[in-house]
Amino acid sequence: MLLENKVVVVTGGSRGIGRAIALASAREGADVAINYWGDNDKSYNKGSAVETIIKEIEKLGRRAIAVEGNVADHATGKTLIERTVEAFGRVDVLSSNAGICPFHAFLDMPPSVYETTVAVNLNGAFFVTQAAANQMKTQGTGGAIIATSSISALVGGGMQTHYTPTKAGVHSLMQSCAIALGPYGIRCNSVMPGTIATDLNAEDLSDKEKRAYMEKRIPLGRLGEPDDVAQCVVFLASDRARYVTGASLLVDGGLFVNLQ
């Protein structure tokens, strides 16, 4: 019970890695506030993604709320934190996880694709972190902020020229926030997932040759699972990482070192 009686906020928490983070936090004893964006909350076989995750958390004996909002809107972070405090009384952990990656060639990329990616991935992380940090400062008991960056922060991507800078920015944001928020006992770290198999990329990974090629590049011999990332987020959120701040944890099965 690494997060017993803590309150965890997860952006982009209804699907993929965010969903795994929300569930892992609940299993470790936390109440969870899940931010989701309705346009991305497509149906699972058992109903909408956010309804499903709320029910799963409640079955674990923990409380959960869902707060809809696009993190690209500056007001979403503030609203999310306010709703969380109304429901649970405090915020102890923020998992800033919401992000998008619409692949597109560089030379003919429309400004709208670039601007939307920056607005969600970087601006969204900035403003939700700011809102959570102000609440943690007011509480006076410290806290933990973990942002989902990416291995793409460290390597290039020909179809990701708009995406990789945002993930490098998220990594840099956590380093700077570690300095700015350290005096308040707020630790700021990031995780850098490699290739993680989720429902969002299931169709792409159904190509057996492509999947085999990707697995061959990973020293551990398999693609990552959302819970691989979630367990690292739980660690960084817990008191076991009480002296860890400004760090970035690669969760990629060794892919990055094999690319060097």
Each residue of 130-139: pLDDT tens digit?
999 999 999 9
Tell whether 114 is covered by a domain: yes
Of residues 43 and 140, the one with the higher pLDDT is 140
Tell whether 80 is covered by a domain: yes
Tell whether 187 is covered by a domain: yes
Tell whether 216 is covered by a domain: no
For 11-163, strand residue ranges (E) read 31-36, 43-44, 47-48, 64-68, 93-96, 143-148
Number of domains in the chain: 1
| Catalytic member of 25, 78, 95, 163 | 163
pLDDT at 31 over 50: yes
| Catalytic member of 14, 25, 149, 150 | 150
Tell whether 51 is covered by a domain: yes
Q: What is the CATH number of the domain that holds 178?
A: 3.40.50.720
Cα separation, 154 vs 101, whole angstroms: 16
The predicted model gives 215-240 an average pLDDT of 97
Is there a catalytic annotation at residue 42? no
Each residue of 48-107: pLDDT tens digit?
789 999 999 999 999 999 999 999 999 999 999 999 999 999 999 999 999 999 999 999
Cα separation, 181 vs 257, whole angstroms: 31
Each residue of 96-113: pLDDT tens digit?
999 999 999 999 999 999
Tell whether 38 is covered by a domain: yes
Instruction: Evaluate whether 136 touches 110 at the Cβ level (below 8 Å).
Output: no
User: Which of 55, 56, 22 is CA-nearest to residue 36?
Assistant: 22
Is there a catalytic annotation at residue 163? yes
Tell whether 203 is covered by a domain: no
> Looking up tokens 């690494």, which residue turns up?
2
Is there a catalytic annotation at residue 243? no
Burial 100-138 (b: 16+ CB within 10 A, else e): bbeebeeeeeeeebbebbbbbbbbbbbbbbebbbebbbe
Tell whether 215 is covered by a domain: no
Q: Is the pTM of this model over 0.85?
A: yes
Each residue of 166-184: pLDDT tens digit?
999 999 999 999 999 999 9
Cα separation, 125 vs 174, whole angstroms: 10
Radius of gyration, alpha carbons of the chain: 17
Structural domain range at position 234? 7-198+226-251
| Catalytic member of 25, 95, 152, 167 | 167
